[in-house]
Structure 1
Amino acid sequence: MELNELLLGKGIDPRGVIVFRHRPNEPELNKVFPLLAADRPDLFNAYQQTHGEKVEKAMLSAKHVASFIRHGSGKALFIGAFAIRKTTPLTQAQYWRVPAHAELRKLGMRGFVTGSRSSCLWFDLKSIDFYSEWKGKLIVDWPPPERSWWRRAHRNQMSIHAVLEDSALDTAMQKWNELDLTWSQLSILPKRWQAKLAEWRGIYYIFDSSDAKGYVGSAYGAENLLGRWRNYGTSGHGGNRLLRQRDPTNFRFTILELVSPTMPPEEVQWLESNWKERLHTRQPYGLNDN
């Protein structure tokens, strides 16, 4: 069986389908793209709603998009199918005013609207119920050449390689002492990770890669580390005076120590102070002002 048979089985003519196998060129965005596919469908769809002129032309004559992401050499992992509806021209200024584009930019997206192009087309893509239960599970063989990331469905044969029992998008939580997150990644944490961070309380470290200075903080309130890091993800500084003066895109977040969920706040605060002393994060050497 192959993809075109699945399309026909749902009453979709392959002649009107563009198949994407997304693999962003930007290294930082490519690294987190499976997380967007898993838990941020708004950002995933925003990424595929604008394209270069050649893809624009193909989409104008199509009715549907079948979206996959790269899943190793010669394989593609199914994310969803979308109906192509209206188009809207966007200038470069309008393009970057789209909130999702601004968020993707923080994750490393450069945007294709460069050079001599003064505008692009934005495609209204509406998710449709096409084997939705196979999101992250359906794997198809991607015909060569490998670098050709989009195809017209009716001109290609994409055999069904496998239908997994569990989604390949379910990202296992790293060990707490292996986490090393950028500020931008705080907004796209997988749900499984969020649940764990909400359980964990302890001492965390913020490293500013611009000058190698650090900040030590503690988390023991509502939602523990998740609640604290969400605050940084939203504000960029978490209310800390010295961090307000800095660019949060240079921040990296790690965990120094986990503590018991029943540890009294004053003991957590003592541990925090102890880490500040040992890592010399109080000003003028670091970013703690107390």
Structure 2
Amino acid sequence: MEDHTSIKAENILKIDDVENYKIHFAVWDGEEEPLDVFVRSRDEWNGWNSWKGGRDDFSRSYIFSLIRFYPQPDKWLFGGIFKVVERKQDHYVVTLEEQYQEYIGRLLIDYPGPKARGRAFYLEKHYLNLVVSQLFDKPYSGEAFCGYENIEHSFSQLEPIFKQNKRDWMAALKNVKGVYLIVDKNNGKMYVGSAYGETGIWSRWGCYIGTGHGWNDELTKLIKENGIDYARKNFQFSLLEYRSMKTDDNVIIEREQYWKRVLLSGKFGYNQN
């Protein structure tokens, strides 16, 4: 039975000449999620719409861009309408249209996505089936705090959270000490660290976001050789333990040593002691 309470995206994003548009379903490119890129930098996100590769995917005058909203299944965040000004050999020259800019990052669309593989499709084959799921008050700026036990976030996911000082994450991580784990997904090596004193997890992880290495010797060498993009692509953070700020620092240090022994991160990972 048809759901008459649903609102079609066409009622908000009204486009008459759909035959002049390609729809861009932006998904994970093997290194990053476009949603993380969008939150981190609008310029970087615009670059996703100018990338050409070996094919002329955006072969029409306009690009209707959607970003896979990975926190929820079958959801897409409206990423803007771009005009293809010029087609060069290795990239497109695009401009962001003023039309519907107020909905960029705010309009969440419900749609299963294309059945075929690829990123660009004829808009008319999908346009009428796009349904409004939610309209955020402000452009999406990163996920809400997920709980201490559910942190398994990449560097690129945490970076916008820390740079924007998201209040819920800051409040949660400022008020706990603990032992954390960084896994290098490129080689499986692990680093066990701890945060204590008066600064909490928030300050310690903020140091990693700012430097890529947090001034740990082995990680510093790695980032100096490969750049901070290595951390963005490969580092994943999680909490092994979290404790009240009233916990004695020596307890945290002892638990850090325990996890180093258990995970053998000194012998096989990035810990030196």
Query: With structure 2 as the length reference, what TM-score do the two structures score?
Result: 0.65
Hey, what does 1:254 align to over in structure 2?
238
CA contact (8 A) 1:143 1:158 kept: no
1:23-172 equivalence runs, <5 A: 23-24=27-28, 26=30, 28-29=31-32, 32-38=33-39, 40-52=41-53, 53-58=55-60, 62=61, 64-70=62-68, 77-84=76-83, 86-87=85-86, 89=88, 119-126=89-96, 128=98, 130=100, 132-133=102-103, 135=105, 137-139=107-109, 146-147=116-117, 149-153=119-123, 157-164=127-134, 171-172=143-144
Question: 2:234 & 2:121 partners in 1: Cα distance?
Answer: 38
- Please identify, of 172-181 and 142-151, the stretch whose mean Cα deviation from structure 2 is larger: 142-151
| TM-aligned CA distance change 1:2 to 1:277, over 3 Å | closer
**Count of aligned residue pairs for this structure pair:** 250
The residue type paired with residue 238 of structure 1 is G
Deviation readout 1:263-290 (Å, 9 max, x if unpaired): 4545544443454455554x55654334
Deviation at 1:203, TM superposition (A): 1.3
The residue type paired with residue 220 of structure 2 is R
Deviation readout 1:230-252 (Å, 9 max, x if unpaired): 32244332212233344656544
Deviation at 1:135, TM superposition (A): 4.0
Structure 1: segments with no counterpart, 5+ residues: 90-118
Hey, what does 1:215 align to over in structure 2?
191
Hey, what does 2:227 align to over in structure 1?
none
Question: 1:272 & 1:226 partners in 2: Cα distance?
Answer: 17
Give me the identity figure in percent.
22
Deviation at 1:258, TM superposition (A): 0.7
The residue type paired with residue 237 of structure 1 is H
| TM-aligned CA distance change 1:194 to 1:49, over 3 Å | farther
1:192-271 equivalence runs, <5 A: 194-195=169-170, 196-208=172-184, 213-220=189-196, 224-246=200-222, 248=231, 251-263=235-247, 265=249, 267-271=251-255
Question: 1:262 & 1:127 partners in 2: Cα distance?
Answer: 53
Deviation at 1:253, TM superposition (A): 2.5
Question: 1:287 & 1:140 partners in 2: Cα distance?
Answer: 43
Question: 1:286 & 1:71 partners in 2: Cα distance?
Answer: 33
The residue type paired with residue 80 of structure 2 is A
1:187 to 148, 156, 159: 159
Deviation at 1:71, TM superposition (A): 6.8
CA contact (8 A) 2:36 2:156 kept: no
CA contact (8 A) 1:4 1:153 kept: no
The residue type paired with residue 204 of structure 1 is Y
CA contact (8 A) 2:180 2:193 kept: yes
The residue type paired with residue 213 of structure 2 is H
Question: 2:52 & 2:160 partners in 1: Cα distance?
Answer: 23
| TM-aligned CA distance change 1:84 to 1:217, over 3 Å | same
Structure 2: segments with no counterpart, 5+ residues: 1-6, 224-230
| TM-aligned CA distance change 1:75 to 1:211, over 3 Å | closer
Deviation at 1:50, TM superposition (A): 1.4
Aligned residue for 2:57, secondary structure, equals helix
Deviation at 1:87, TM superposition (A): 4.4
Aligned residue for 2:63, secondary structure, equals strand
Deviation at 1:76, TM superposition (A): 6.0
Deviation at 1:16, TM superposition (A): 4.2
CA contact (8 A) 1:203 1:217 kept: yes
| TM-aligned CA distance change 1:82 to 1:237, over 3 Å | same
Deviation readout 1:179-207 (Å, 9 max, x if unpaired): 23344444355847743434443111234
Question: 1:261 & 1:251 partners in 2: Cα distance?
Answer: 26
The residue type paired with residue 48 of structure 1 is N
